[in-house]
Amino acid sequence: MNAADITNPASPGNNPESNPYALNESSRARTCDTTKLPVCFDAQRFIRLNAVLAVVFLLVGGIAALLLALTRWQTVHLLPADWFYRILTLHGFNMLIFWILFFEVAILYFCCTSLINARLYSRKVAWVSFGMMAAGALMVNGIILAGKADVLLTSYLPLLAHPLFYLGIIFMAVGTLIGVFNFFATLFMARRHKTYEGSVPLVTFGATAAAIIAVVTLLHGAIVMIPTFTYSMGWTAQPDPMWYRMIWWGLGHMSQQVNVCAMVAVWYLVATLAVGAKPLNEAVCRSAFVLYILFINIASAHHLLVDPGVGATWKIWNTSYAMYLAVLASMIHGFTVPASVEVAMRTKGYIKGIFGWVANLPWRNPAFSAVVLSLVIFGFIGGITGVTLGTQQINIIAHNTLRIPGHFHATVVGGTTLAFMGLAYYVVPLIFRRDYIWRSAARIQPWIFAGGITLMSFGMSFAGSMGVARRTWDIDPAGAVYGPPAHVMLGLAGIGGSLAFIGLLLFVLLTVGTLLFGRNNTGRAMESWGEPRDIGDAASVARKTDKEEHKTPGTLVLVLIFLAVFAVYYFANWKALADVWPVR
Amino acid sequence: MTENTPKHILQRLMDNPWILLALGLAIPFISYTLWGWIELLQVPPAPLP
């Protein structure tokens, strides 16, 4: 691992002798024994706090997920109806909001300090942020488990929950916004005091994009939740339900775009840490992040594609024409990340054939395998289904069916959660300074989780294709409406969900076990997960890589396979739509 | 690139998080929120009995 691959700290000679914001001159920082990156003590503390709470909420959400999977598996049908909707509400908040946001704040603090050689702007602001987020999350979870907020994640009006439910969400949103402010303030001070040279590193740029998207998201949250809270208190009239839906999805869907952006930043970071990959073209990668900033948030309109209050022009512009620029960005990242890994491997001498480099990738590194699986699941399942289901015409045969959870479990869980799990295999040794225990189990954990979530996503998607509705406790309330194939697919989703839970539980046990019993690595490098070594003599490798510099035939083949799958799936759905209303 | 070489306008854009923040706020708020809000305001009240 080489810090120079991902950061560009200012050389001390170019700066005033005492720079209060530069970590490499501060007594409130240490140098990482593995990466040689500077680590701000304040940032380290809040990365630890946020990461620990993130894992706690991941476990809560995961237990809820298992209960839901075993309920929608019609043969098992575990929970009674009231508890199904209660646990579904709990699951949504813990997995989509709490686990992800706490982990993302930890990522932001890392990216704005260690990578640009700057100390965290304010410890007090970080405490306020963390305190509000923790209080909000506990408030929401408590009120849900008390049975006073069975309104699901969306809490569509006129469904009404206890006021503390809305207050908890407001606390969570404002707390996160304060954390994002701390990130921007750190960037501002770092730039003003020249703690780094040139542009910020790509990973920090990606984190900045995520933070910008988070601001838009959280402002929508404030706009919709404050009047809903005052309504729940009886102080104001009920907000219009159509308006509520539109603004709420400015919170609900945009928050998932923060995840996408942060996940891509993690892909680049882990690719660098695991194989020494460098972005193929910084300008292209950064432009793709800019496309996210500008256009990804408008995808929220997907959720309103069958709403009568907004017109077709608004729907099509926001879900197709403009949004496809954000899809383009995802496809750019989907190419540049594996391509940068391929170039790094070929530079090390793995030049045999088109896929010789793939066989020699560090598959025993759980961080790397998690990121590769995240990329594949996000692109091949989540991305393709997302673009297809977001097409206005096709959406009519999929809206509110299990195909939608089948899609977003591939993006948010198979994509983001798995990438974050992968990052944890570096965060724990580097920030908590403990080497992972039971490393053989750690090496298979991403595969178990990815296999489970893929099975579940397939089961949900195919059941949804047969018309099975989402958010429904019982699919056969009035007899056997659906045939055996739908039940088989729900069973597949149940098995996949259970397998994914085993992977999740293994991750939590490994991580908590490491924090309690892991060997302290202070004063030495972390125990390596295994990196691909350079092969061949330097001269031959240099000659070969000169000739093949930036050639990525393996990635090109993978991209062509991806595009072919995309085309087949997309047009199969048009065919399915045509079958709904046959023209004779 | 030397210090005296002027930066390309796109490079300057990407190096300025505040302009990106402003654009990132403006585009979704106009394209999704404001436009959608205006459309909802134009929905006539339901003629309930």
- Of the listed ranges A1-15, A176-190, A389-403, A503-517, the one predicted with least confidence: A1-15
Closest CA to A453 of A421, A420, A410, A416: A410
Mean pLDDT calculated for residue range A418-445: 96
Q: How confident is the model at residue A28 (pLDDT cuts 50, 70, 90)?
A: confident
Is the pLDDT reported for residue A534 higher than 90?
no
Q: Is A314 on the interface with B (CB under 8 A)?
A: yes
Q: Is A187–B17 a contact, with Cβ atoms under 8 angstroms apart?
A: yes
Q: Is A215 on the interface with B (CB under 8 A)?
A: yes
Amino acid (one-letter) located at A247: I
Q: Is A187 on the interface with B (CB under 8 A)?
A: yes
Name beta bridge partners: A520: A434
Q: What is the pLDDT of residue A7?
A: 61
CB neighbours of residue A392 within 10 Å: 15
Contacts of B46 in chain A (CB under 8 A): none
Q: How confident is the model at residue A536 (pLDDT cuts 50, 70, 90)?
A: low
Q: What is the pLDDT of residue A584?
A: 66
Q: Which of B27, B29, B33 sits opposite A295 (nearest CB)?
A: B27
DSSP category for residue A382? I
Is the pLDDT reported for residue A545 higher than 60?
no
ipTM entry = 0.91
Q: How confident is the model at residue A398 (pLDDT cuts 50, 70, 90)?
A: very high
Q: What is the pLDDT of residue A473?
A: 92
Q: What is the pLDDT of residue A18?
A: 67
Amino acid (one-letter) located at A435: D
Maximal C-alpha separation, chain A? 82
Contacts of A246 in chain B (CB under 8 A): 33, 36-37, 40
Q: What is the pLDDT of residue B46?
A: 81
pLDDT in tens, A288-339: 999 999 999 899 999 999 999 999 999 999 998 888 899 999 999 999 999 9
What percent of chain A is modeled with pLDDT above 70? 93
CA distance B8 to chain A (A): 11
Q: Which residue has the higher pLDDT, A60 or A14?
A: A60
DSSP category for residue A519? E
Q: What is the pLDDT of residue A518?
A: 95
Q: What share of chain A is helix, strand, coil (3-state, %, to 5)?
A: 70, 5, 25
Q: What is the pLDDT of residue B1?
A: 47
Is the pLDDT reported for residue A259 higher than 50?
yes
**Dist CA A68 CA A77 (whole Å):** 9
pLDDT in tens, B1-49: 455 678 888 888 889 999 999 999 999 999 999 999 999 999 988 888 7
CA distance A38 to chain B (A): 22
Q: Which of B13, B20, B31 sits opposite A322 (nearest CB)?
A: B31
CB neighbours of residue A320 within 10 Å: 18
Task: Specify the DSSP element, H or E, that contains A131.
Answer: helix A123-145
Stated length of chain A: 584
Mean pLDDT calculated for residue range A121-133: 97
**Dist CA A426 CA A432 (whole Å):** 10
Per-domain residue ranges of chain A: 32-274
- Specify whether the CB–CB gap between A388 and A569 falls below 8 A: yes
pLDDT in tens, A191-246: 999 899 889 999 999 999 999 999 999 999 999 999 999 999 999 999 999 999 99
Nearest CA in chain A to B23: A294
Contacts of B21 in chain A (CB under 8 A): 184, 212, 215
CB neighbours of residue A46 within 10 Å: 25
Q: Is A199–B15 a contact, with Cβ atoms under 8 angstroms apart?
A: yes
Q: Is A294 on the interface with B (CB under 8 A)?
A: yes
Q: Is A208–B20 a contact, with Cβ atoms under 8 angstroms apart?
A: yes
| Cβ-proximal residues to B21 (8 Å cutoff; 6+ apart), any chain | A184, A212, A215
Is the pLDDT reported for residue A561 higher than 50?
yes
Q: Is A199 on the interface with B (CB under 8 A)?
A: yes
Q: Strand, coil or helix: what is A31?
A: strand
| Cβ-proximal residues to A47 (8 Å cutoff; 6+ apart), any chain | A106, A109, A110, A427, A431
CA distance B35 to chain A (A): 7
CA distance A268 to chain B (A): 18
Nearest CA in chain B to A300: B32
CA distance B11 to chain A (A): 8
Q: Which CATH superfamily is domain A32-274 in?
A: Cytochrome c oxidase-like, subunit I domain (1.20.210.10)
